[in-house]
Amino acid sequence: MNISKIETIISEIPDPEIPVINIKELGILRNIECKDNHYTVTITPTYTACPAMSFIENEIRNKLLRVGITDVEVKTTYTPAWTTDWISERAKQKLKEYGIAPPMHSSCAMNFTTQKVTCPHCGSSDTKTISRFGSTACKSLLKCNICKEPFEQFKCH
């Protein structure tokens, strides 16, 4: 099976913490190689201790097993470190539609008290950080001062 088909199959795997985007859109899927019917899939976690990585590894193996590919190695690489710059523009739009403010870019200001984040619900930039930690390590919790809705932002890094 060619690499393009394998990538399509693996790209169907949603991020377990944000199911509206897949691992390719998020930038976790880094590379796929095939040599003598041995497939090596390289992934990079969004955080070093990301709890979703074992789930993603199992999903990759299971997806490929279902199409008859049994010789699969899933490698995790930490270099280069994952960055929010790897999130596709389509995934950023999906995050916003899902109610999560997408990251601005990887080098955004890490001063969470002065950073202007746009509310994904009403579009206002009159927002405030409630907590630097949201439901997962990769998100912060904010609140819009206009529509009063809480929302999460995918942290920049």
Query: Among 154, 142, 51, which Cα is nearest to 106's?
Result: 154
Q: What percentage of the chain has pLDDT greater than the value 90?
A: 72
Mean pLDDT of 58-82: 95
- Residue 74: which H helix or E strand, with range? strand 72-76
Q: What is the mean pLDDT of the chain?
A: 90
Question: What is the 8-class DSSP label of residue 146?
Answer: T
Mean pLDDT of 102-112: 61
Kindly tell me if the per-residue pLDDT of 112 is higher than 50: no
* CATH 3.30.300.130 residue window(s) in the chain: 3-82
For residues 55 and 47, what is the distance between their CA atoms, to the nearest angstrom?
A: 14
Mean pLDDT of 27-39: 95
Phi/psi at 19 (nearest 5 deg)?
-70, -5
Check residue 147 and give left, alpha or beta (phi > 0: left; psi -120 to 50: alpha): alpha
Kindly tell me if the per-residue pLDDT of 83 is higher than 70: yes
Put simply, whether the predicted model's pTM sits higher than 0.85 gets the answer: no
Task: Write out pLDDT tens, residues 4-24.
Answer: 999 999 999 999 989 999 999
Kindly tell me if the per-residue pLDDT of 39 is higher than 90: yes
CATH code for residues 3-82 = 3.30.300.130
